[in-house]
Amino acid sequence: MPETRMLLKNAEDPALRTLAGYKGYGGYATLEKAYRELEADEVLQELEDSGLRGRGGAGFSMGKKASFLPRGGSVDKYLCCNADESEPGAFKDRELMQRNPHQLIEGIAIAALAAGIGHAFVFIRGEYDSQADVLDAAVAEAYEAGYLGTDILGTRRNLELVVHRGAGAYICGEETALLDALEGKRGNPRLKPPFPAVQGLYGGPTLINNVETLSNVPHIVAHGAEWFKGFGTEQSPGTKVVSVSGCVQRPGNYEVELGIPTRELIYGLAGGPAEGREVKAFYPGGSSSPVLTAEEGLDLPYSFEAMAEAGSMLGSGSVIVADDSVSIPHMALRTARFYHHESCGKCTPCREGTNWTVKMLERVVRGEATPMDLDIVASVQENIIGHCLCVLGDSMAMPVGAMVRKFRPEFERVIAEAGHAEAVAA
Amino acid sequence: MAELPVDQALTEGRVPDRAPERVPELHEVDCPDELRKRIEELMSRYPDRKSASIPALWAVQRLYGWCTPEGIRQAAAVMRVTPAYLESVASFYDLLHTDPVGTHKVAVCTNISCWMRGGDELLEAFRAAAGEDPDFFVTGFECLGACDIAPMASIDERYFGPLEAAEAGTAIEQLRAGAEVLPEKALEKRPLPGGPDA
Amino acid sequence: MSGKEITLIIDGREVNASEGEMLHDAAKRGDVEIPVFCYEPKLGEPVGACRMCLVEIEGIPKLQTSCSTPVRDGMVVHTRTDQVKHAQSAVVEFLLINHPLDCPVCDKGGECPLQDISMGWGPGKSRMTDDKRHFEKPIELSPLVAIDRERCILCYRCVRFSQEVAEDEQLQLLERGDRTFVGTFDDRPYVAPFHGNITDLCPVGALTSYTYRFRARPWDIEQAGSVCTLCPSQCNVSFTVRDEQVKRVVARDNPDVDDGWLCDRGRYGFEMFGAEERIRAPRLRGGAEATWDEAIAKAAEALRAASVDHTGVGTNLAAASGNGGAAIVGDASNEEGYLIQRIMREAVGSPNIDSRPSRGPSREALVRLAQPEITARVRDIDDADAILVVGTDPLHASPILDLRIRKAIRRNGAKLAVATEGPTTLDGGATAATRYAPGNAGPFLAELAAALEADGPISQGDLDVSARRPQEVAGALRGAGSIVVVWGDRIGREGDGAVTALLDVTAALDLAGKNGSGLLEVPELTNARGLREAGCLPDAGPGLTRAPFGSHTSPNGASNGKATEEIRVALESGELKTILLFGVDPLRDFPDTQAWRNALAKADHVVCFSMFENATTAMADVVFPLETHAEKDGTVTHPDGRLQRVRPSASRPGDIRPNWGVLAELSLALGHDTGVDSQPSAFAALAEAVPFYAGITDADIGGRGIRWQDVGPEKATGTGSPDTQPEAPTPPAEN
Ligand SMILES: Cc1cc2nc3c(=O)[nH]c(=O)nc-3n(C[C@H](O)[C@H](O)[C@H](O)COP(=O)(O)O)c2cc1C
Ligand code: SF4
Ligand code: FES
């Protein structure tokens, strides 16, 4: 099954990132139609009917989330485009912003119209410096063309759009930590409830959506919900830009219909592992998704529901493939190190659980551990899951727990070998 | 008013060696005009001026190379917040440095996908090439969102990859010579893996 | 919490709560203890960081933090299921993996929530075998507070206090994840007026006071509750006493007075109690030690000289014209003030008694100011829609009110207007902050009253700058539902005109008509209101009644005595011969220091009660030692009318005797038996003399104090008839 390019359509054309280039392919026509002819509720209904699910990780229906914002009223409402994309294995938002920034801007403008929002921000991670420059240029063009600012296209609707660069913290991808960072604070998650849709940025109702989610909006409003549901599966409509990386010959972003067989994605499109190598395991939804062994996952359809059923999750749609040359215990340690480094430190189980897990796994790979330590590692992951203030702790505990469970023998072998080597060396 | 006995008891032998840090006045910090204007412009973009904290710290780092205590006090004076507030924000984020760093920044990704394809070795290569040169700040880094060009590095905020260990030395030399870095390995030049639209 | 009453089930038991209340608090009332670290209601919104308070709520799959989950009607909560115990045990184990466990050398040992909760809800052992996180320790966070970052469990309490309560924003969290630590900018010292509160807040031994490190263990000490009399905030304190000496002062949460906070003077000033400079026994001029009898006799002789008839005939006290003497009262309890004014008026026969640094409003003005319907309570600040601060900088005059006002602005969105002679620290948070020329509070208030009377705001344009200021303040106050006016008693020094202007503003704002509204005085003297109501005023006897001048009228017919300033002038001119100074140091605290120096030099007899030697005691003929608020036994009256009990908590150093007793003996020596032989009897005499204190007993005052305005008719068994309100001070016109 080849790619189904909708968001990445014409992405090869460098001119696409300019206003003229984008309009050349019909860009902003939907925005003009929506602002001039459609009512906010009509647009919102279309988005809700499309069944578009969040592409940032949670997979929550975008239309429904937008409908939670109080309608009308005088209170200031905000839209935050989550472009923090720091989940290991994820680089789809980068590609979308780098190649087609106007598609995102048009999506933001239409989503803001649907939810009656006057202020929008793109929170882009600080490391994406060149992509942020591309976005700044596109936003300037959009203002100039009258698609942003006050009295857009003479329809007395206003929208201010600010590109805000983060400064390097994965936690700021979490929606409430993003709000704290955007308010100029340390990026600590907030207690929920209240949910951002009710009380978010500066205390006002806020809609937070991922780059890819918002990039779908112009297509849905242009062609209608039914057209959009023609792609993907009943529960996971539309296409998904999947970032495939790790032990594959052609790593990169592939836009596919949800429900495509995972094997087709990894072997067909991404070229599978190097010659003579087999897939051992893979993260279906980025580093925070419990790994699936080749047997468990390769023949499942790549969709939200199928991944959930298999005990994992589609998440942000990033597949990291490990072939039989990769040591799972070392991969578990590398995963744990990421979450230990990125934990914001606010709540006890995540702050202490991540650093303790790293220390234990380091001992495991050095062979200074016993099988009982593996039970402690597994138990510590249990002690983290469900006890933290946000799900960053769970994002480590689930994959690490799954790896220790599914590859227990390999862990014990590493302990024995490294311990033996240690003994020999000493 | 002369000291009350209770105040004498409170302060005798307990005078702090340095002054506490309150919100500095503009005249107490000689904040360059361009930095002040930049921060004021940034503050005007947001409904609440405190949202300009991170962009202001970016401006300080771009001017002084890192978030110097003096630079933080200047930004604090313009934003009417305490330097402690800005330092606590700066110290939270990886890209904002509260210690001196070299002018050239090389961040080599050592996360899962890059680690699988030789990220650690690439980091060692860059460290060896840079040596003790204070002009270079070489560090391992978490996933930079470029796993498709693993193993990769962000050199002065531009992505390059996939890189061979040998290319680390080349890149360092190019940086020293002020030449363009590894032009053919720049991310921007990389096509979509699936090729043009089918 | 004033929400609707609801009921919920906790561990199978029904518990009543009000809507919006947090589950943890409702459980506490239902005798179900849920362990917490980061939750501290005094700090405002919960943060839900430590995860210690996780409980199971039926219908919700994940455990919920009870500190941040509001109660709902019909909610079913379990706090002892295995799932909850497992979570609690896990959180304790996590907290301890980087904890140094140096309890043997940690001052918090024995009173440490981490210890208690580890024993109560922890796993009992740790599976952690790797090395722990280390920090250099302890480090001087400030000259008074040490920080040990290894013990810190990152519960955010101290930084929340610095940022959201004291708002000095000097204490911050630095770095991220498990590298996070508490610190200040560039390692500068944390110097702020309330910073000591973080040692109370810290649930572990991370923040300790240098004044208490290694001084005592919990089993060596007793806690004794009293009231701090170092400033008019009159915060409730608890003294940590070992071997009858105060080793530490901690807050004793009283929401009606101090919201559970202390300023650093109140917390660390106790070291002066044991200072060697303290006067420990009576002495005569030149420093010669004296026995109590000698000293009292000398003082009596001095006061008796004041009561010699001007014609030099006879010493019959009753007939003496008695205006040769005067008394000025400062750091004194209600009972002491009451006894001193009885000594002067009845024993010495002099009306010259005052408790103000120079002068103040007339009795009539004070009676109008004291009307209960225009008096605000400290707690009213919390819910006020608008607050006017005029003629005082609360941070210096009554620090705890500064915190209270900040809280009202931050949590209730109150609008603040400030009108003072100089800049204040509250200006930053004020909707309108304006200045008036020194000594011109009266004219400003008059303009403000006029601006408020004018129905709409006059367009700002056509007013010159000085006229525009009252407009701004009026704008901030206009339309507010409830208003509290915090006013400095320095305004009273400008005389009755200023007080009238203040009352005009009160009327213009209709404070009497609005609930939760009124005036709140910030006097310079701690017990200004108590001494005023005990009768330490030249023109007013106990209960602000017309000055009872015993059986005499002074030669010029007026029964009123001299105010402090007039006393000074009369001493300088020789008209007055004897001066009794109780807990005041005119050469340090009063205006016109040089004039006072001349006055004291000119006086024949100077009798002092003082804690320390100072410039004034150097000029005294006899000096009696004064008790501190850790030794004093008596009552004081808070500016909002709350009688509070100062209880003796530590032993009196040296040969110091209870001051009320010394005054009673002094009166006896002057041939006038006050009948007072104990503190209760002194208070009973006071309550007898002050109509609106009538019927209030020591039990009523208890630990939290009682506002005489809140005393119901059934208590008024005193002079007023049972069915009437206690005879509040009636306006002058009537009697
Ligand atoms: C630790 C953590 C990191 C996250 N990082 C990202 C991110 O980098 N980008 C993103 O779009 N969403 C991220 N999310 C999900 C967001 O919280 C939020 O659900 C999402 O951005 C909402 O957008 P959507 O509904 O369009 O998916 C993260 C969540 C967590 C708990
Ligand atoms: S120092 Fe004490 S109060 Fe502050 S965060 Fe650490 S444990 Fe909490
Ligand atoms: S007490 Fe509830 S999370 Fe700390």
Which residues from chain A sit within 8 angstroms of residue C97, using beta carbons? 352, 356
Q: Over 80: is that where the pLDDT of A149 sits?
A: yes
Q: For residue A53, give the DSSP letter.
A: B
* Most distant pair of Cα atoms in chain A: their distance: 80
Q: Is B51 on the interface with C (CB under 8 A)?
A: no
* Min Cα–Cα distance to chain C from B91, Å: 5
What's the pLDDT tens digit per position in A338-360?
999 999 999 999 999 999 999 99
pLDDT at C318: 40
Q: Strand, coil or helix: what is C433?
A: strand
pLDDT at C683: 95
CA distance B12 to B8: 6
Subunit partners of chain A (3 or more CB pairs within 8 A): B, C
Subunit partners of chain C (3 or more CB pairs within 8 A): A, B
Task: Measure the CA dihedral C291/C295/C297/C303, to 10°.
Answer: -170
- Tell the residue number behind the tokens 């004076």, with chain if given: B77
What's the pLDDT tens digit per position in A19-64?
999 999 999 999 999 999 999 999 999 999 999 999 998 889 999 9
> Is residue C458 within 8 Å of residue C363, measured between CB atoms?
no
Average pLDDT of chain C, as a whole number? 89
Output the CA C158–ligand 2 centroid distance in Å.
6
pLDDT at C459: 57
Stronger pLDDT, C726 or C443, i.e. the higher one: C443
Q: Quick one: what percent of chain C has pLDDT higher than 90?
A: 80
> Is residue C283 within 8 Å of residue C289, measured between CB atoms?
yes
For ligand 3, say whether the CB of C47 is within 6 Å of any of its atoms. Answer: no
Residue C323's pLDDT band (boundaries 50, 70, 90)? low
Q: Over 90: is that where the pLDDT of C311 sits?
A: no
CA distance C248 to C203: 17
Q: Which residues, at least 6 apart from B112, have a Cβ–Cβ distance to it below 8 Å?
A: A88, A89, A246, A283, A287, A320, A331, A334, A335, A338, B143, B147
Whether residue C177 and residue A341 make contact (CB cut-off 8 A), yes or no, is yes
The number of helices, as runs of H, and strands, as runs of E, in chain C is: 22, 29
What's the sign of the alpha-carbon dihedral C297, C300, C306, C307? negative
What's the pLDDT tens digit per position in C143-175?
999 999 999 999 999 999 999 999 999 999 999
Which atom belonging to ligand 1 lies closest to the Cα atom of A87?
8
At A399, which amino acid appears?
P
> Is residue B182 within 8 Å of residue B163, measured between CB atoms?
yes
Which residue among C36, C42, C156 has the greatest number of ligand 3 atoms within 8 angstroms of its CB, and so is best to mutate?
Answer: C36
pLDDT at B9: 80
Considering only CB atoms, B112 lies closest to which of A127, A162, A287, namely A287
Q: Over 60: is that where the pLDDT of A193 sits?
A: yes
Which residues from chain C sit within 8 angstroms of residue A348, using beta carbons? 49-52, 91, 94-95, 153-154
CA distance C635 to C530: 8
Nearest 5°: the CA angle C23, C64, C125 is: 105
Q: Over 90: is that where the pLDDT of C202 sits?
A: yes
Output the CA A25–ligand 1 centroid distance in Å.
30
What's the pLDDT tens digit per position in C3-43?
789 999 999 999 999 998 999 999 999 899 999 999 999 99
Considering only CB atoms, A186 lies closest to which of B88, B158, B192, namely B88
CA distance C199 to C216: 16
Average pLDDT over residues C241-246: 94
Nearest CA to ligand 2 atom 6: C152
pLDDT at C15: 94
Q: Over 70: is that where the pLDDT of C401 sits?
A: yes
Output the CA B145–ligand 1 centroid distance in Å.
14
Q: Over 60: is that where the pLDDT of C308 sits?
A: no
Whether residue C186 and residue B14 make contact (CB cut-off 8 A), yes or no, is no
Q: Which residues of chain B have pLDDT under 50?
A: 1
pLDDT at C353: 93
- Tell the residue number behind the tokens 């006896």, with chain if given: C668
Q: Please choose, from the candidates C196, C201, C252, the residue with its C-alpha nearest in 3D space to the C-alpha of residue C224.
A: C252
For ligand 3, say whether the CB of C123 is within 6 Å of any of its atoms. Answer: no
This prediction has a pTM of: 0.93
> Is residue C215 within 8 Å of residue C247, measured between CB atoms?
yes
Q: Over 60: is that where the pLDDT of C356 sits?
A: yes
pLDDT at B195: 85
Q: Over 90: is that where the pLDDT of C277 sits?
A: no
Full 3-state SS string of C91-151: HHHHHHHCCCCCHHHCCCCCCCHHHHHHHHHCCCCCCCCCCCCCCCCCEEEECCEEECCCC
Q: Which residues, at least 6 apart from B46, have a Cβ–Cβ distance to it below 8 Å?
A: A162, B52
Mutate to test the interface with C, among A183, A341, A360, A387 (most CBs of C within 10 A): A387
Mutate to test the interface with B, among A129, A245, A339 (most CBs of B within 10 A): A245
What's the distance, Cα to Cα, between the start and end of chain B in Å? 86
Which residue among C53, C55, C94, C117 has the greatest number of ligand 3 atoms within 8 angstroms of its CB, and so is best to mutate?
Answer: C53
For ligand 3, say whether the CB of C69 is within 6 Å of any of its atoms. Answer: no
Whether residue A387 and residue C133 make contact (CB cut-off 8 A), yes or no, is no
Which residues between 174 and 193 in chain B have a beta carbon less than 8 angstroms from any beta carbon of chain A? Answer: 187-188, 191-193
Average pLDDT over residues A214-234: 95
What's the pLDDT tens digit per position in C278-292?
999 999 998 888 999
Q: Over 70: is that where the pLDDT of C632 sits?
A: yes
pLDDT at C551: 39
Nearest CA to ligand 3 atom 3: C48
pLDDT at C733: 35
Whether residue B6 and residue C142 make contact (CB cut-off 8 A), yes or no, is no
What's the pLDDT tens digit per position in B11-42?
888 888 888 888 999 999 999 999 999 999 99
For ligand 3, say whether the CB of C38 is within 6 Å of any of its atoms. Answer: yes
Nearest 5°: the CA angle C267, C269, C274 is: 125
Q: Over 50: is that where the pLDDT of A112 sits?
A: yes
Q: Over 90: is that where the pLDDT of A73 sits?
A: no
Which residue among A60, A80, A82, A342 has the greatest number of ligand 1 atoms within 8 angstroms of its CB, and so is best to mutate?
Answer: A82
Residue C2's pLDDT band (boundaries 50, 70, 90)? low
